[in-house]
Amino acid sequence: MKKQKEKICTIIALIILFILVYFAQNRLDAYKIRILNLGAIYVTLGVSLNLIYGFTGQFSLGHAGFMAIGAYVTALLVLPPYYKEVSFILEPLIWPFTVIHAPFIIALFLSGLFAALVGFLIGLPVLRLKGDYLGIATLGFAEIIRVIANNLPHITNGALGIKGIPEFTNLWWTIGVAVVTIYIIKGLINSSYGRALMAIRENEIAAEVIGINLTNNKVMSFTISAFFAGVAGGLFACLLTTIDPKAFMFVMTFNILAVVVLGGLGSITGTVIAAFLYNIFLEYLRPIEAGFNLGPVHFPPIPGLRMVSFSILLLVLILYKQRGLLGGIEFTWGGFFRFCNKLFSNKKSTEGSAS
């Protein structure tokens, strides 16, 4: 009964989201849509990082690498063959990539699969490492992927990057992918696999003793995480329409990590909120840099001031909210109704006392 009720609530919420996306896509200006798109892509990235770090407890800094793989695969698949001939100036594109062409959805899926495959191959040896060492090793792999992308001009066009990627990404795609990601990862976490992952996070030795296969579970979690990072990379490529190796530096991973930590480790709700807030803040701090008037005082435009204020904001947040915005609390319909009831009954009691 309760389950049924929750299902209905979820469906209603999704319909509301659907209507909101419809209005957003048609009514908002391009700039706002772009921010929302970025936010939704960060949701996908953040939730997938949360799976490996927040729920499995494996410190991974390789997300930018998987994103890069996804972005390049999508770009090579959706670019029309004519465009490929024009844009590869350094060295012509090699054979299979010159002719293959796929619709966006298949390209996204393939980029996820390819990123997952690489994630699997990396994860097998690397996931034996623990803690910070794992983080450093995955960071190393992400950098290696970037350097390779920089040095294969006949596939990735080298440092010039790929330009003129068709702009397929819109709010339907980004929000849709984010919802699917949350649905799948949430389902995974609530399954027996998810319990095993959380057992590994709490204590590896204890988990091993009760018969959980550490390697299999860790590699599975890592591979799934890489899959969604790859899909998000594909969306990212078709949002920006131009990608180059520099876009996938360590800063990219850090942004995702910051979203996950600021939202609260192990909380998907927190990641979703933090992902949007992060991008909104990052964009709305731009006027600071352009110069502004505060009463009679005029501040001249100073390049770099935006990121300075952003890093201060980040520092203040992490210093005062050490466990993230939500601190691991998850949104549930039960909690939501209790909260509404409380709000409602409070109102009633104050009304009663007033009259």
Partner 1 sequence: MTINLLLQNIANGLSLGSLYALIAIGYTMVYGILRLINFAHGEIFMLAPYFLYFGILIFHLPWWASTIVAIGLTAFTGMLSERIAYKPLRDAPRISALISAIGVSFFLQNLAVVVFSGIPKSVHRPIFFTKIYQFGEIRIQSTLFASIGVSIIFLSLLLYIIYQTKTGLAMRAISRDIETSRLMGVGVNRAISITFAIGSALAAVGGILWSLRFPQIFPTMGMIPGLKAFIAAVVGGIGSIPGAMLGGLILGMSEILFVTFLPALSGYRDAFVFFILIIILLVKPDGILGIKVQEKV
Considering only residues 113, 129, 160, 329, which one is a binding residue for partner 1 as defined by CB under 8 A?
129
Contacts of 102 (CB under 8 A, 6+ apart): 77, 78, 110
Residues 6+ apart with CB under 8 A from 292: 298, 299
Taking the complex as a whole, the smallest distance from the CB of residue 78 to partner 1 amounts, in Å, to: 27
CA-nearest of 229, 114, 108, 240 to 166 is 240
Nearer to partner 1, 59 or 66 (CB): 59
The DSSP string of 35-50 is HHHHHHHHHHHHHHHI
Total residue count of the chain as it appears in this document = 355
323 in contact with partner 1 (CB under 8 A): yes
- State the binding string over 139-178 for partner 1 (x if CB under 8 A, else -): -xx-xx--xx-xx---------------------------
Q: Return d(Cα 89, Cα 158) in angstroms, integer.
A: 10
Restricting to residues 241-270, name those near partner 1 by CB under 8 A. Answer: 250, 254, 257-258, 261-262, 265
Per rule CB under 8 A, is residue 290 in the interface with partner 1?
no
- Torsion over CA of 187, 192, 196 and 202, rounded to 10 degrees? 70
Comparison of 234 and 266: residue with beta carbon closer to partner 1: 266
CB of 38 to partner 1, least distance (A): 18
Contacts of 259 by beta carbon, 8 Å cutoff, 6+ apart: 42, 45, 46, 271, 274, 275, 278
Q: Among 86, 132, 301, 338, which residue sits at the site for partner 1 (rule: CB under 8 A)?
A: 132
Residue 27: CB minimum distance to partner 1, A: 34
Range 60-119, binding partner 1 (CB under 8 A): none
123 in Cβ contact with 222 (< 8 Å):
yes
| Closer by beta carbon to partner 1, 246 or else 338 | 246
Which of 288, 330, 284, 325 shows the shortest CA–CA distance to 305?
Answer: 288
- Is 329 one of the binding residues for partner 1 (CB under 8 A)? no
Q: Which residues contact 276 (CB under 8 A, 6 or more apart)?
A: 36, 39, 42, 43
Residues of the shown chain interacting with partner 1 in the complex, contacts defined by CB under 8 A: 59, 125-126, 128-130, 132-133, 135-137, 140-141, 143-144, 147-148, 150-151, 205, 250, 254, 257-258, 261-262, 265, 302-305, 307-308, 310-312, 314-315, 318-319, 322-323
